[in-house]
């Protein structure tokens, strides 16, 4: 089971969007996937079209991590039904895309001083589930308790950055934080890489920043980057999978996420990948 945290210390760069895009690609590829929505804003949960019922959100489960039954409280994404109705889909195929729902309550763990025991709460929960090939953890935009809890439970961290000055600088800081965290708490944790999001191919500034990122981060800068898509908010607003949205732009975005997922899974199998520090 590959557990990937999707992180950045900056908000609004596209963590949730990348989580949703990868979840959509995993659903299309038939990889049984769990999305853990660790951001108290619970945007990923909204985007994945879940009907909560009486299931516990992730905050309540974290609180009683030893006793809580994660498998009994995950909720299937509404995208699964749509996937099953797609033309050409084998009705016997039952794709799995589950969600551990986000909740404002998880915010109580988003403190800077979270102790080692608390940091293990998510790994304790995940240690009890089987059957998923991939777990995607959508993190809040900070390096407080929740992100550190996510990193403690992960094999790898995927950083999301926009090709702008502040975002690039922020990514470098996040890489340093990740390096320190790895040394202290999680020797087996590795960066999966950095994905550039909202890239406008015609923007000179973006071209410049992408070249800068390539120079700074080398092959940690993942292929492909994700372009700025005009109808992205509409797709998310409708709580739809990008793979099920009509039109060429959605098709192009879906293709990017297919390729990104493939690269993510491939680099994941390179076990002894040594963490590279940013140059300079």
Ligand X SMILES: Nc1ncnc2c1ncn2[C@@H]1O[C@H](COP(=O)(O)OP(=O)(O)O)[C@@H](O)[C@H]1O
Contacting positions for ligand X (CB under 6 A)? 11-17, 43, 141, 197-198, 226, 228-229, 232-233, 236
- The partner in contact with residue 186, picked from ligand X, Mg ion, none with C-beta cut-offs of 5 to 8 angstroms by kind, is none
- The partner in contact with residue 267, picked from Mg ion, ligand X, none with C-beta cut-offs of 5 to 8 angstroms by kind, is none
By beta-carbon proximity to Mg ion, the closer residue of 46 and 207 is: 46
Compute the distance between CA of residue 55 and CA of residue 57 in angstroms, rounded to an integer.
Answer: 7
The answer to whether 106 contacts Mg ion (rule: CB under 5 A) is no
Point out the residue whose Cβ comes nearest to Mg ion. Answer: 16
CB of 247 to ligand X, least distance (A): 14
The answer to whether 16 contacts Mg ion (rule: CB under 5 A) is yes
- The partner in contact with residue 100, picked from Mg ion, ligand X, none with C-beta cut-offs of 5 to 8 angstroms by kind, is none
By beta-carbon proximity to Mg ion, the closer residue of 44 and 216 is: 44
CB of 226 to ligand X, least distance (A): 5
CB of 130 to ligand X, least distance (A): 28
By beta-carbon proximity to Mg ion, the closer residue of 37 and 118 is: 37
Residues 19-48 interacting with Mg ion (rule: CB under 5 A): 43
By beta-carbon proximity to ligand X, the closer residue of 198 and 240 is: 198
CB of 237 to ligand X, least distance (A): 8
The answer to whether 267 contacts Mg ion (rule: CB under 5 A) is no
Largest CA distance in the chain: 54
Residue 28 forms beta bridges with which residues?
none
Compute the distance between CA of residue 78 and CA of residue 101 in angstroms, rounded to an integer.
Answer: 13
Q: Is 14 left (phi over 0), alpha (psi -120 to 50) or beta?
A: left
- β-pairing verdict for 33-37 and 134-138: parallel
Tell me which residue has tokens 């909740």. 103
CB of 155 to ligand X, least distance (A): 21
- The partner in contact with residue 167, picked from ligand X, Mg ion, none with C-beta cut-offs of 5 to 8 angstroms by kind, is none
Among the listed residues 68, 66, 70, 1, the one whose alpha carbon sits nearest the alpha carbon of residue 32: 1
Compute the distance between CA of residue 117 and CA of residue 123 in angstroms, rounded to an integer.
Answer: 11
- The partner in contact with residue 156, picked from Mg ion, ligand X, none with C-beta cut-offs of 5 to 8 angstroms by kind, is none
- β-pairing verdict for 97-100 and 75-76: antiparallel
CB of 210 to ligand X, least distance (A): 14
Residue 193 forms beta bridges with which residues?
158
Q: Is 203 exposed, middle or buried (0-12, 13-18, 19+ CB in 10 A)?
A: middle
Q: Is the dihedral of CA 47, 170, 5, 144 positive or negative?
A: negative
- The partner in contact with residue 12, picked from Mg ion, ligand X, none with C-beta cut-offs of 5 to 8 angstroms by kind, is ligand X
CB of 62 to ligand X, least distance (A): 20
Distances (CA, A) of 154 to 87, 121, 186, 267: 36, 12, 9, 14
Per CB under 5 A, residues contacting Mg ion are 15-16, 43
């Amino acid at each position: 089971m590959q557990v990937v945290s999707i992180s950045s210390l900056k908000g609004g760069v596209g963590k949730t969007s990348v989580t949703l895009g990868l979840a959509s690609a995993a659903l299309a590829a038939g990889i049984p996937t769990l999305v853990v929505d660790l951001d108290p804003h619970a945007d990923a949960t909204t985007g994945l079209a879940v009907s909560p019922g009486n299931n516990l959100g992730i905050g309540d489960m974290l609180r009683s991590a030893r006793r809580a039954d994660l498998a009994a409280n995950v909720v299937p994404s509404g995208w699964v039904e749509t996937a099953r109705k797609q033309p050409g889909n084998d009705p016997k195929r039952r794709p799995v895309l589950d969600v551990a729902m986000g909740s404002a309550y998880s915010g109580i763990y988003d403190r800077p001083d979270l102790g080692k025991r608390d940091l293990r709460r998510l790994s304790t929960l995940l240690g009890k589930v089987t059957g998923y090939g991939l777990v995607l953890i959508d993190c809040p935009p900070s390096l407080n308790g929740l992100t550190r809890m996510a990193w403690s439970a992960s094999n790898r961290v995927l950083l999301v950055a926009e090709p702008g000055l502040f975002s690039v600088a922020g990514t470098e800081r996040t890489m340093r934080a990740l390096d320190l965290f790895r040394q202290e708490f999680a020797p087996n944790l590795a960066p999966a890489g950095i994905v550039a999001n909202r890239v406008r191919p015609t923007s000179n500034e973006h071209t410049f920043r992408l070249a800068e990122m390539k120079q700074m981060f080398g092959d940690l800068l993942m292929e492909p980057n994700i372009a700025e898509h005009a109808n992205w908010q509409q797709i998310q607003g409708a709580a739809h999978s990008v793979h099920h949205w009509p039109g060429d732009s959605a098709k192009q975005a879906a293709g990017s996420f297919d390729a990104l997922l493939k690269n993510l899974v491939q680099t994941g199998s390179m076990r002894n990948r040594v963490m590279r520090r940013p140059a300079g």
